[in-house]
Homo-oligomer: A and B are copies of this chain.
Amino acid sequence: MSNSGPAVPVTRVLAVASHVVSGYVGNKIAVFVLQSLGCDVAALNTVQFSNHTGYKQFKGTKVSAQEITDLFDGLKQSYLDDFDMMLSGYIPGAEAVAAVGDIARELKEKSRSTPGSFFWVLDPVMGDNGKLYVAEEVVPAYKSLLQYADLMLPNQFEAEVLSGVQIVDMDSLASAIQALHDTYRIPHIVITSVKFPAPGQPSPQLSVVGSSMSSDGRARLFKIVFPAIDCYFSGTGDMFAALMVVRMREAVTAVPGLGARASWLSGDDTATLDLPLARAAEKVLASMHEVLSRTSEAMKDIVEQTIDGQVGKLDGSEKMGHLVQTKAAELQLVRHPECLRSPTVEFKAKVM
């Protein structure tokens, strides 16, 4: 497997997201995923926190909008801004979102004469499960940037907020995606973690729904259904996004000429299930499912080890239980790199 070489041609990625000292969210997981699959990553960290916020307590500092701009200026002045792709995740506050948007716009502008030479994957991190966890003014900041993105990866709630369409079933989901194509001319969309009550199903089913628009802006929709694992994991969205960067690049590279088309948009004669976005999403979900399974399997042991290692410090409180469980739910990736490199695709895309 390791002899088969990297999944993608030489790819320089600017990854803008949060950094945590311990654990695996934001750039802490995205950078490892991208590097493991052969990308040269420039990692611009938007915060440095001790751990992710799911622990309900953390220490550390945010990076200001000015610092983000300065770091990019630092790259430019040394000819280090030659990026093929950009991935943006959590950005603290509207000003910082605008600063990251300026970077993406500038890189996009620079690539105008060579279509396809720069591709921005935008994860508009704003909230989940019906609630914003960023300031209100972050929403319009993102809305004004979407037009520059090539692929966006909202979760169900973020798709609702950005499209203005309430998503209650597959029809309204399709309308939301069409609205995002229409309003922002955004070429590729994947809505991660769609969850509807499914009558007659014993265990919950999750879907990922995606679309690459046609030349006249119509959604070409596919969905992939996969079994949910009954546990809350942090960092899954960030891992999904990083994998999409690599697998999209890989799938596009496999189609002669496609990499030189603006936004890597397939012609109208391409069947929906042959869209690189669908191919990429299948492979991404395969990796995700393997990593989450490994993580789930290891949790019990990690809880026990943590308790053993902290004799005398643990008080048996509810807070302690939450902290230990949260630690045990950190994604188990570094010891299972084969889940990244050569996952077995079990869940296939279907036309919607």
Per the bound structure, the CA–CA distance linking A48 and B74 in Å amounts to 11
Per the bound structure, the CA–CA distance linking A207 and B104 in Å amounts to 46
Partner of A310, one of B40, B45, B79: B79
A26-56 contact mask (Cβ, 8 Å, vs B): 1 or 0:
0010011001101111111100111100010
With known contacts A57-B77, A327-B78, A71–B43 Cβ distance under 8 A = no
In the bound complex, do residue B21 and residue A324 qualify as a contact, i.e. CB atoms below 8 Å apart?
no
Q: Is A131 an interface residue (CB 8 A)?
A: no
In the bound complex, do residue A306 and residue B2 qualify as a contact, i.e. CB atoms below 8 Å apart?
no
Q: Is A316 an interface residue (CB 8 A)?
A: no
Q: Is A108 an interface residue (CB 8 A)?
A: no
Partner of A335, one of B38, B57, B326: B38
List residues of chain B with CB within 8 A of the CB of A327.
Answer: 78-80
List residues of chain B with CB within 8 A of the CB of A45.
Answer: 19, 21, 45, 48
In the bound complex, do residue B36 and residue A79 qualify as a contact, i.e. CB atoms below 8 Å apart?
no
Interface of A is mostly: mixed
In the bound complex, do residue A78 and residue B61 qualify as a contact, i.e. CB atoms below 8 Å apart?
no
In the bound complex, do residue A75 and residue B2 qualify as a contact, i.e. CB atoms below 8 Å apart?
no
A271-305 contact mask (Cβ, 8 Å, vs B): 1 or 0:
00000000000000000000000000000000000
The chain B residue sitting closest to A341, CB to CB, is B2
Interface size class of A (residues with CB under 8 A): 35 or more
Q: Is A183 an interface residue (CB 8 A)?
A: no
Per the bound structure, the CA–CA distance linking A73 and B45 in Å amounts to 21
Q: Is A215 an interface residue (CB 8 A)?
A: no
Per the bound structure, the CA–CA distance linking A1 and B19 in Å amounts to 30
A63-99 contact mask (Cβ, 8 Å, vs B): 1 or 0:
1000100111111011110100000000000000000
Per the bound structure, the CA–CA distance linking A341 and B3 in Å amounts to 12
Per the bound structure, the CA–CA distance linking A19 and B67 in Å amounts to 14
CB distance from A218 to the nearest CB of B (A): 35
In the bound complex, do residue B60 and residue A70 qualify as a contact, i.e. CB atoms below 8 Å apart?
yes
List residues of chain B with CB within 8 A of the CB of A314.
Answer: 79
Extra pairs beyond A21-B74, A49-B74, A79-B313 (16, CB < 8 Å):
A21-B75, A28-B43, A31-B32, A50-B73, A50-B75, A51-B74, A51-B75, A57-B74, A58-B74, A59-B73, A59-B74, A61-B67, A78-B326, A78-B327, A79-B306, A80-B327
Q: Which 3 A-B pairs have the closest CB atoms?
A: A50-B74, A59-B74, A22-B42
Query: Can you list 18 pairs linking A and B with CB atoms under 8 Å apart?
Result: A1-B3, A2-B341, A6-B334, A21-B75, A22-B42, A32-B35, A36-B36, A36-B334, A41-B334, A45-B48, A50-B71, A51-B78, A57-B78, A58-B78, A59-B73, A59-B74, A59-B77, A79-B313
